[in-house]
Amino acid sequence: MLILPVLAAVGASSGWATGIVLAQWPARQLGAFEFTRIQLFACSAILAALVSLLGYWTTIEWAYWPAFIASTVIGIVLEISP
Q: Which residues contact 37 (CB under 8 A, 6 or more apart)?
A: 79, 80
Q: What is the pLDDT of residue 80?
A: 66
pLDDT in tens, 25-66: 888 899 888 888 888 888 889 888 988 898 887 777 888 889
pLDDT band of residue 81 (cuts 50, 70, 90) is low
Predicted TM-score (pTM) of the model is 0.55
Q: What is the pLDDT of residue 35?
A: 85
- Interatomic CA distance for residues 17 and 78, integer angstroms: 20
Q: What is the pLDDT of residue 1?
A: 60
Q: What is the pLDDT of residue 79?
A: 65
